[in-house]
Amino acid sequence: MFSQTTQIRVRYADTDQMKFVYYGKYFEYFEQGRSDLLRSMGLPYPEIEREGILLPVIEAHAEYRQPARFDDLLFVETILTDVTPVRIRIEYEVRRDAAGDPMVIGHTVHSYMNSASGRPTRLPARLREAVEKATKRTLN
């Protein structure tokens, strides 16, 4: 397991008529956390894409427990929980306080896709090496 925490300040444009963060925005917060997680592993998205690999989302889930509001400072903990030869699962916990109870929890599952052919592919060696280094375990 490997994790990274990203801070996000809620913008006014992120809120809905009820003055809460619009539920769909959390998936954007998850995306920012995911980008930061990969970057912290030494694998920013642009490098993965230059190597001809895309990571399409094949599943996304969120549970909303407490609303966030304009100008809240949120802590998005992004956790790499499962990597297989054909997919990767990343979990998210959004908090108002870095140590507080989660306001929103969720996950995304991604497959690996060859950008030239648009077809699924196996776990690329470079991503495998980065995951093994970050998690300090060998993948089977």
Per-residue pLDDT of the chain (140 residues; tens, 9 = 90+): 789 999 999 999 999 999 999 999 999 999 999 999 999 999 999 999 999 999 999 999 999 999 999 999 999 999 999 999 999 999 999 999 888 999 999 999 999 999 999 999 998 888 888 888 887 777 76
Output the pLDDT for position 125.
86
Residue 130 lies in a domain: yes
Say how far apart CA 88 and CA 92 lie, in whole Å: 13
> How many domains does one find in the chain?
1
Rounded CA separation 95/117 (Å): 39
Residue 25 lies in a domain: yes
Q: What sign results for the dihedral spanned by CA atoms 92, 94, 98, 102?
A: negative
Interior angle at CA 24, CA 16 and CA 116, nearest 5: 145
Q: Are 16 and 68 in contact (CB under 8 A)?
A: no
**Cβ-contact 1, 59 below 8 angstroms:** no
Q: Is residue 60 part of a domain?
A: yes
**48 belongs to a structural domain:** yes
Question: Within 10 A of 125 (CB to CB), how many other CB atoms are there?
Answer: 9
pLDDT of residue 126: 84
Please, is 21 exposed, middle or buried when counting C-beta atoms within 10 Å of its C-beta (0-12, 13-18, 19+)? buried
Q: Which domain covers residue 50, as residue numbers?
A: 2-135
Which CATH number fits the domain that encloses residue 88? 3.10.129.10
